[in-house]
Structure 1
Amino acid sequence: MTRTSAPVDAPATGAWEGLVTTALLGTDRRTPPGTGPGPDAPVALLDAAAVETVRRRAGLRPARAAERPQPAPKDPRPPLPQAAARRLAILLADRPGGSGGGRRGAAPDLTELLPQWLAAANARGFAPPPQLLPALLDAARGRTDLRPAALEFGGPRALWLARLNPDWRFALRSTPGGGAALPHLDDDAGIRQLWQEGLFAERVALLSALRSRDPAAARELLATTWATERAEDRLMFLDSLRAGLGPDDEPFLEQALADRSRNVRATAAELLSALPGSALAARMAVRAEACVAIDHMQPTRATTATAAPSTTGAATGPTMATPTITVEAPHECDPGMERDGVVAKAPAGRGERSWWFGQLVEAAPLGTWSRRLGGRTPREIVALPVTDDWQGELHAAWCRAAVRQRDAEWSRALLGEPSAPEAGGPGAVSLAERAKLLGTLGAAERAEWVAGFISTHGLSEAFQLLGVCAVPWAPPLGRAVVDALNIARDAGSYPWSFSGVMGLAERCLDPSEAGRLDALLAVPDEPENASPGAGGYWAEAFQRLVTTLRLRAAMTEELNTP
């Protein structure tokens, strides 16, 4: 039986949006144009949507003649090797979410390989095939994590296309300068004109580009208009000084400490505290030193074994003093502290004195403490007991200071040994803190520490730590991850709880490790009390891992082919 409905009138502007709204509200609350309430309303809505879809696909509506777009700019980079171009087309054709959830199967997840492929192609300086640019922009539109690498790879032609399609406007916003060409960094007049007349995104891009080449020139350019900028713009511009931050920036940042915006003042204070030789760092050191001291009067009783037998078997030795750190937190937050970036109001549930104390210690140069605490090394200082339950607050502040000041020696002391029972050292209060501390170490040392952590504690807490390790993982780290996965498989552990680590391994494990994994592809014997179906899942997951590693190796070879 054929159902007919009333003819659909020509749509007004925004007709598609109106139909979508009607569908969301329901035809019982809002009917399509030209249709009354009743059982025919849903059919009329679908008919109207079908007609409007055809109209939308038919092409552009008539409009006034406009100038033809300028030809696409040339891309001077060498073209991709043919095999690599075919691989890119395959990666872009894959779409996430096709499996509908559940088990992933043994096939590689191509969408997770695209970021790595783009990074490798950018490192080699290739230009994309023009016919793949629309698919590349569509992929970047749906995934913000892809945008920086995709737009770098897309180059000038991707921006040219983005100006012609409203769906790709994100490329103009995401690209420094909003897609506009920046003046040459030797063109003083062009730089001044863009700084005075450009859009905010263009000015941020100009300042960042100039800062990377000539930090002093960028700072001087910012100073010319600083007093007339909006507070939110001053904050963004000030943040650009993080790149190339040095002692020459101190006078400008000291002036920013008197800014009328609290956020600007806080950012200026943070940048100054990252310069251990700054006047602000010295002021913070004086304040922090007044709060922390060594007390030698905490007595302990030492025992020494006697040479001759006795009824007690030991003799009590003399009383000894154990050095102990004492803390006296500030009793007020004076105007000088506030000017130097200390936030006076504590967050909910936090004591004011501990809040002020943590900020002072965090901003003080870490070199302060060896001088203040008897010439001890960071490791010796961290090992000292702290009175009155102040240890957590003090060590957490030292953690933040080590990260801010990029101090590897203090980071090592606060991390402790990866095999320590508490698995994070005395100062790492969370996995996030440990990950930040690891970020101050070199790539090889970072990988070695995380490998030791996994060997001792397994993978249950290692996911966040793995995220800060360089890719591909160093051999010791890769072996530790594979061994831990194998142990979990043999123990009949619940396999889906390791899916995140397995996904990381697919992207980060060195492809040369594929050969070592062949022995893990068989379905293992499931021990008693194992999760039902765990053996099959583990075999499937390892098969996917091996296939992905070999695919990554092929991708690299294709990009290296002349």
Structure 2
Amino acid sequence: MTKVDALPPGGSAAAAPAVWEALVTSALLGTDRRTPPGSGHGPGAPEALLDAAAAETVRRRAGLRPARAARRPDPAPGDPRPALPAAAAHRLTMLLADRPGPAAGGRRGGAPDLMELLPQWLATANARGFAAPPEALPALLDAARGRTDLRPAVLAFAGPRAVWLARLNPDWRFALRAMPGVGPVPPGSDAEERVRRLWDEGLFAERVSLLAALRIRDPGGARELLASTWAAERAEDRLMFLDSLRTGLDAADEPFLEEALADRSRNVRATAAELLSALPGSALAGRMAARAVTCVSLDRVLVPPAIAVEAPHECDAGMERDGVVSRPPAGRGERSWWFGQLVEAAPLRTWSARLGGRGPEEIVALPVSDGWGGELHAAWCRAAVRQGDGAWATALLGAPTAPEAGGPGAVSLAERAKLLGTLDAEERAAWVAGFIATHGLSEAFQLLGMCGVPWAVPLGRAVVDALDIARDAGSYPWSFSGVMGLAERCLDPAEAGRLDALLATPDESENASPGAGSYWAEAFQRLVTTLRLRAAMAGELEGGREE
């Protein structure tokens, strides 16, 4: 090998950049066109170029000054919560490692989807107060990074170490602004000062998270913090901050919200009006009630009496200030649009006095003249959801045996799902069970999503009976894959034994789809296996705490 100096004879370190540039030029043009520095022209030039480049690379690297050593990170905070039982820790590893591939032909296969069971496992572990195993934290944070629905449970389970890790890995920075119910500022003697500093200097997402966390612990303090900078905030930021007042909303928020009605942003004004209308005792609710009652009356001339509607003929400045949007969406008439907004914002207690002292069920049962029934009942639905009025929601839902498309007031399934949210868990489950027993599962998915987990026994049995009926009808189970997936996560695991009779492949009738029976057997096998796995997971988490 030909020896080549890193620097030409008599050269200095100052000339090194020129040497490197010359080597690069020779490499680009070719040694036959440009002789490398320190080498002669000829067949040995390419090898000399490579030797010179290697020597120069070593010299360049050796000439770098070492950077100042970075400050060592503070130790990870401790977690005083008890450790997971060994079996539960092993189960967590399996849940986090599961990556199911697509089943052939679109079928779901017979094996449980472990990642779909992770939310339930986390909820149980958090309820038991266990700490996450340190070695599982990276996988937990990676899972939460990809699925925002997992973040609250993952961050609660991971505890303070999640924040510590998030400061070291930008991929997990969501943990810095999404600690559920705790906020980015832990308690301490200087907590008030740190809250103020984060509010004044933090990123927007951090400020939203801080305000939401403070609203849970101290609603009045959160409102005062927001008021302190309200005038200087951007319109889009004011809208997001104002939305946080939904948590813990009470009469003490009314003065601030009344001022927000004069905001220069239309969206902020509309949100403030919506929040005020959710307070039946607010001045805005009273103003909207006064407007709404002029539009609705009881026509006693008719037999039986009927509700008469006279929609407003204009949207004046006062209505606009109180949140009524003057311009209707495409396809809606102005008067019906204004009327719906007035009724929606009026306290529901208004209507008993206006309509002869009747209760919600009697009012909803009254006929409505001139085709205004749909508009009126839809507005009452929105009011019941906004005000959380279970009595009105029950009346508007009607009997679960009513047609799928509507209750007493032709209430849609989407509206029914929202109304169900105002009922307690037992009432909700009973209503949906009755709906499924009458109408089957084709329209039930949205309603089932409103029910608590695990499903009450009557609801779970109504779902299984409906699935059995669908199987006997000879159709493929894929039409019910959404309901089957819900059943895997929501059925009481104690029901697994009752399903064993459904695991056999049934005899196919002449009208059945080819192979449907075996597909149903596979689907029920997956359901039973998943239920038993959920029971095992619960047992592992209930198996005691390691000391």
In structure 2, which of residues 166, 180, 198 is the aligned counterpart of residue 162 of structure 1? 166
8 Å contact kept, 1:521–1:539: yes
Indicate whether 1:215 and 2:219 are aligned.
yes
Deviation at 1:208, TM superposition (A): 2.3
1:334 maps to what in 2?
Answer: 316
CA distance in 1: counterparts of 2:374 and 2:527, whole angstroms:
41
Q: How does 1:496-535 map to 2 (within 5 A)?
A: 496-535=478-517
Q: How does 1:151-190 map to 2 (within 5 A)?
A: 151-175=155-179, 180-184=184-188, 187-190=191-194
Deviation at 1:384, TM superposition (A): 1.0
SS at match of 1:293: strand
Deviation at 1:179, TM superposition (A): 8.1
CA distance in 1: counterparts of 2:89 and 2:359, whole angstroms:
55
8 Å contact kept, 2:178–2:209: no
8 Å contact kept, 1:185–1:191: no
One-letter code of the match for 2:381?
A: C
1:147 maps to what in 2?
Answer: 151
In structure 1, which of residues 380, 389, 404 is the aligned counterpart of residue 386 of structure 2? 404
8 Å contact kept, 1:399–1:428: no
1:294 maps to what in 2?
Answer: 298
Q: C-alpha offsets along residues 392-419 of structure 1, whole Å, 9 cap, x if unaligned?
A: 1100000000000000010011000001
1:101–1:128 Cα change, 3 Å: farther
Name whichever of 357-366 and 75-84 sits farther off.
75-84
SS at match of 2:159: helix
TM-score (norm 2): 0.84
Deviation at 1:262, TM superposition (A): 0.8
CA distance in 2: counterparts of 1:531 and 1:101, whole angstroms:
16
8 Å contact kept, 2:156–2:180: no
CA distance in 1: counterparts of 2:181 and 2:172, whole angstroms:
16
Percent of residue pairs bearing the same amino acid type: 79
1:238 maps to what in 2?
Answer: 242
Deviation at 1:163, TM superposition (A): 2.4
Q: How does 1:156-555 map to 2 (within 5 A)?
A: 156-175=160-179, 180-184=184-188, 187-298=191-302, 321-422=303-404, 424-427=406-409, 429-555=411-537
CA distance in 2: counterparts of 1:160 and 1:208, whole angstroms:
21
Structure number with the bigger relative contact order (C-alpha 8 A, sep ≥ 6) is 2
Q: C-alpha offsets along residues 483-530 of structure 1, whole Å, 9 cap, x if unaligned?
A: 111111112123210111111000000000001001111001111111
Deviation at 1:202, TM superposition (A): 3.0
Q: How does 1:49-128 map to 2 (within 5 A)?
A: 64=67, 65-99=69-103, 102-128=106-132
8 Å contact kept, 1:423–1:453: no
CA distance in 1: counterparts of 2:292 and 2:345, whole angstroms:
9
8 Å contact kept, 1:399–1:411: yes
1:185–1:351 Cα change, 3 Å: farther
8 Å contact kept, 2:184–2:210: no
Deviation at 1:139, TM superposition (A): 1.6
One-letter code of the match for 2:493?
A: P
1:153–1:484 Cα change, 3 Å: same
Q: C-alpha offsets along residues 270-291 of structure 1, whole Å, 9 cap, x if unaligned?
A: 0100011111001100111011
Name whichever of 185-194 and 98-107 sits farther off.
185-194
SS at match of 2:307: strand
TM-score (norm 1): 0.82
Deviation at 1:551, TM superposition (A): 0.3
Deviation at 1:100, TM superposition (A): 6.0
CA distance in 2: counterparts of 1:333 and 1:184, whole angstroms:
52
CA distance in 2: counterparts of 1:347 and 1:288, whole angstroms:
21
Deviation at 1:210, TM superposition (A): 2.4
8 Å contact kept, 1:417–1:424: no
Name whichever of 169-178 and 135-144 sits farther off.
169-178
Name whichever of 132-141 and 161-170 sits farther off.
161-170
One-letter code of the match for 1:76?
A: P
One-letter code of the match for 2:341?
A: Q
Name whichever of 239-248 and 353-362 sits farther off.
239-248
8 Å contact kept, 2:251–2:279: yes
Deviation at 1:266, TM superposition (A): 0.6
Q: C-alpha offsets along residues 249-274 of structure 1, whole Å, 9 cap, x if unaligned?
A: 11111111111111111111001000
8 Å contact kept, 1:399–1:427: no
RMSD: 2.0
CA distance in 1: counterparts of 2:365 and 2:144, whole angstroms:
49
Deviation at 1:448, TM superposition (A): 0.2
1:37 maps to what in 2?
Answer: none
CA distance in 2: counterparts of 1:126 and 1:284, whole angstroms:
50
1:190–1:159 Cα change, 3 Å: closer
CA distance in 2: counterparts of 1:185 and 1:291, whole angstroms:
57
1:70–1:189 Cα change, 3 Å: closer
8 Å contact kept, 1:177–1:202: no
Deviation at 1:481, TM superposition (A): 0.4
1:247–1:339 Cα change, 3 Å: same
SS at match of 2:370: coil
1:101–1:125 Cα change, 3 Å: farther
Deviation at 1:101, TM superposition (A): 5.8
Deviation at 1:356, TM superposition (A): 0.5
How many pairs does the alignment contain? Answer: 480
Q: C-alpha offsets along residues 60-112 of structure 1, whole Å, 9 cap, x if unaligned?
A: xx984422322222122111110000000001110143546622221111111
Q: Which has the larger radius of gyration?
A: 2
SS at match of 2:227: helix
Unaligned runs of 5+ in 2: 1-27, 29-64
Deviation at 1:190, TM superposition (A): 3.5
Unaligned runs of 5+ in 1: 1-33, 35-61, 299-320
